[in-house]
Amino acid sequence: MGKEQLTEQYFLEKLTAAKTHFERALDCKHTEFDDLYPYMIEHPQFFWYKRYVAWSELLTLVSLCEDLTFPWKEQFTPHQVEYVEQRVLSAKVLDFWFEKNDSKEHAQR
């Protein structure tokens, strides 16, 4: 693998991947975290850790995009932008990240 150019497109692609990772963690779907810590599946706190790791990754990439003045908000709904800006992974974020949990978009993820 060669050196990647640190461009706006590169960061926005990484942000999209982090958002997908977080959303898969919310839905309790397989993520890279499962491969790194397969023994954690046996522990009840596993899903909390998995979501926290994905949330931290998302916040880190948003912070980098903000520092570099890249337009990150376009990839989120207005209420998701609010959650990210508040930076706290609360029950509200876990429960209402998707506007409608029965939407087609949510079901296809």
Q: What is the pLDDT of residue 59?
A: 98
Q: What is the pLDDT of residue 82?
A: 97
H helices within 1-101, ranges in order?
A: 8-26, 32-36, 46-67, 78-86, 91-96
pTM over 0.95: no
Q: Has residue 22 been placed in a domain?
A: yes
Structural domain total, the chain? 1
Q: What is the pLDDT of residue 3?
A: 63
Give the range of the structural domain holding residue 56, as residue numbers without chain letter: 8-108
Q: Has residue 20 been placed in a domain?
A: yes
Instruction: Indicate if the pLDDT at residue 2 is higher than 70.
Output: no
Q: Has residue 2 been placed in a domain?
A: no
108: enclosing H helix or E strand: helix 104-108
Closest to 57 measured CA to CA, from 32, 21, 4, 96: 21
Instruction: Indicate if the pLDDT at residue 104 is higher than 50.
Output: no
Instruction: Indicate if the pLDDT at residue 65 is higher than 80.
Output: yes
